[in-house]
Amino acid sequence: MTRLESFIRRMTAQRDILDQVCAEVAKIEGPVIELGLGNGRTFHHLRERLPGRRIVAFDRALAAHSSSIPEPENLVLGEIRETASRFIGIDAALVHADIGTGYEDRDAVTSTWLPDLTARLLRVGGIAVSGTPLDHPQLQRLAPPPSVPADRYFIFRRV
Ligand code: SAM
């Protein structure tokens, strides 16, 4: 598979998973946490699918398209490991983490702190969607939509 094909599959999986979980998240109280604003494409999608919901977005630096920039109070810049820790207890309905790099060694470092941070940001019953696996006793893995290839994108419920 070429990198272009792999990218298309990842974006399709991301869209299908976000569409599936947004239907459920609409019934769960609490804000949405977007870890990795990037260009703002998934932020834009979540904002469209969950109108009126507070979405707090995190990144090292602002690089989003002008159409996809959160309100200043909902944009948090810096290292996610530190900045998002300040939001522990926010009882999020959804945490979407799109901070995988495709480099095994870097993603292995992220996996030492991201699962626990995600579990602590979520309310019980809340949903996590992640581009990297989240191995944590309080995060129960859920099945992705049939269109999503195995181990391409991951969904969990906070138990
Ligand atoms: N979901 C975004 C979109 O649809 O446009 C793309 C996100 S991009 C793949 C990942 C982003 O996460 C990058 O902008 C990067 O700066 C940010 N990021 C990755 N690891 C981070 C960390 N540890 N702290 C802060 N930002 C991080």
The CA radius of gyration of the chain, in Å to the nearest whole number, is: 14
**CA distances to 20, 37, 91, 129, 156 from 141, in Å:** 15, 24, 19, 10, 4
* Pocket perturbation via mutation, ligand 1, pick of 7, 12, 32, 37 by most ligand atoms within 8 A of CB: 37
**CA distances to 22, 42, 65, 84, 132 from 155, in Å:** 12, 15, 27, 20, 10
**What are the pLDDT digits (tens) for 82-110?**
999 999 999 999 999 999 998 999 999 99
Average pLDDT of the residues in 63-68: 97
Q: Whose CA is nearest to atom 6 of ligand 1?
A: 38
What type of residue sits at position 5?
A: E
Interface predicted TM-score of the whole assembly (ipTM), two decimals: 0.99
Partnered with residue 128 across adjacent β-strands are 95, 156
Find the helix packing angle between 41-49 and 3-25, rounded to 10°.
30
Q: 125 C-alpha to center of ligand 1: Å?
A: 25
**What are the pLDDT digits (tens) for 108-158?**
999 999 999 999 999 999 999 999 999 999 999 999 988 888 788 899 999
- Please tell me the predicted confidence (pLDDT) of residue 69: 98
For the CA of 63, the nearest atom of ligand 1: 14
Tell me how far apart the alpha carbons of residues 121 and 142 are, in angstroms, rounded to a whole number.
18
Q: 89 C-alpha to center of ligand 1: Å?
A: 22
Q: 15 C-alpha to center of ligand 1: Å?
A: 17
Ligand 1 near 147 CB (within 6 A): no
**What are the pLDDT digits (tens) for 12-32?**
999 999 999 999 999 999 999
Q: Whose CA is nearest to atom 14 of ligand 1?
A: 38
* Pocket perturbation via mutation, ligand 1, pick of 85, 96, 99, 114 by most ligand atoms within 8 A of CB: 99
SS3 33: strand
Ligand 1 near 14 CB (within 6 A): no
Please give the CATH number for the structural domain made up of 3-158. Answer: 3.40.50.150
